Amino acid sequence: MDPKPLWLLAELTYKCPLQCPYCSNPLDFAGPRFQRELSTAEWCRVFVEAKALGVLQLGLSGGEPTLRPDLEELVRNAHGLGLYTSLITSAYRLSKERLADLKAAGLDHVQISLQGADANLSDEIAGTASYRDKIAAYHYTRELGFPLTVNVVLHRRNLHQVEALIRLAESLGAERIELANTQFYGWALHNRDALMPTKAQLAAAWHVVERERARLGTALEIVWVLPDYHEQFPKPCMGGWARAYMTVTPAGEVWPCHAAGGITTLRFENVRDHPLDWIWEHSEAFNRFRGDAWMPEPCRSCPRKAQDFGGCRCQAFLVAGDAGVTDPVCSLSPHRHLIDAVLAGEREPAAWTYRAAPASRALAAKG
């Protein structure tokens, strides 16, 4: 059977009050490619087409999705279709009234980011004073009966706080905490030298995760997203290219993952020009790496290809310059030395560039 998508990530806007230097949004998010945001009616049509195509899980993300004044209407429409809707938010200035309205509209689940376990570090990493709003919003979600996920992107500057982060999520009554080691795309790739953790940091954090998982059982699910540069084999990125997942960007481009738009050798289609099912089934970008016929060696003859699908196409493009080669993270890849060179030696911590519109425009102008 042809694969049908289960997941849709709707990036409603790339505007965001936070400025996290690890943001996975495109470096040129403030440029012309993403300016003309989809209307309410266009998003609602996307949801109808997605449901008909097989989507069951909808993530409402960004940027900051609560900046869309029509968010409640979008949730109401998605809920009416039977989609399980998750709001993925920074919770900046998110009021209890707004969350109650979203609950009434049928929102199923709230995921709130956190940048560190205390206000000082969290606000420094976010580049915006937001910790207090986040803590308040965690309590609102509990009071309103939402299942809550706390999401933390981990890197050199906050890995030492993993225990405090887990304890905080526990005390807030969260169902899940996602400890997502930085994946290097978008702003995170640009800031890689400042964000890259040491092997010792990762080992210490993983030790805490194992211990806390044993202590907490199902009371708090701890998701640990692997730091793939430090692994021997690549991640099974998106469960395989164009197998179960798609992202629609603020201006309507459709990508097989939220970083794929960075592959400049692919042409991506727009929901303004084509129905979603056509894009999923027939567009060049979705078919280019679907299945395993595209695979070169060492993937082609590798027994792991059904497990990791050759790894990440974006990473192959960004690190090795060719989206069609084995993920350079793989120890069997002829490009693994490029990853090892990044990891080699202890670096002086570099300064990062905050994700913000002026920096985005400056970087885009530089090419």
Q: List contacts with another protein (CB under 8 A).
A: 4, 6, 52-54, 56-57, 82, 84, 86, 108-109, 111, 145, 147, 149, 175-176, 218, 221
Nearest-approach distance from CB 6 to another protein, in angstroms:
7
Nearest-approach distance from CB 180 to another protein, in angstroms:
12
Contacts of 326 (CB under 8 A, 6+ apart): 234, 295, 296, 297, 298, 299, 310, 311, 316, 332, 333, 334, 335
Beta carbon nearer to another protein, 109 or 156: 109
Beta carbon nearer to another protein, 147 or 236: 147
Q: Is the dihedral of CA 339, 27, 32, 274 positive or negative?
A: positive
Nearest-approach distance from CB 56 to another protein, in angstroms:
6
Per the listing, tokens 């911590």 go with 349
Nearest-approach distance from CB 51 to another protein, in angstroms:
8
Rounded Cα–Cα distance for residues 13 and 61 (Å):
8
- Concatenated DSSP letters of 168-208: HHHHTT-SEEEEEEPP-SHHHHHTHHHHPPPHHHHHHHHHH
Strands (E), the chain: 7-11, 57-61, 84-89, 109-114, 148-154, 176-181, 221-225, 245-248, 254-255
Beta carbon nearer to another protein, 6 or 136: 6
Nearest-approach distance from CB 81 to another protein, in angstroms:
10
Nearest-approach distance from CB 119 to another protein, in angstroms:
26
Contacts of 291 (CB under 8 A, 6+ apart): none
Beta carbon nearer to another protein, 45 or 176: 176
Quote the tokens at residue 8: 């849709």
Question: Is 106 in contact with 80 (CB distance < 8 Å)?
Answer: yes
Question: Is 312 in contact with 327 (CB distance < 8 Å)?
Answer: yes
CA proximity to 174, closest of 138, 148, 152:
148
Nearest-approach distance from CB 151 to another protein, in angstroms:
10
Beta carbon nearer to another protein, 147 or 334: 147
Nearest-approach distance from CB 54 to another protein, in angstroms:
4
Rounded Cα–Cα distance for residues 257 and 318 (Å):
14
Amino acid at 140: Y
For helices 96-105 and 131-143, what crossing angle results, to 10°?
Answer: 40
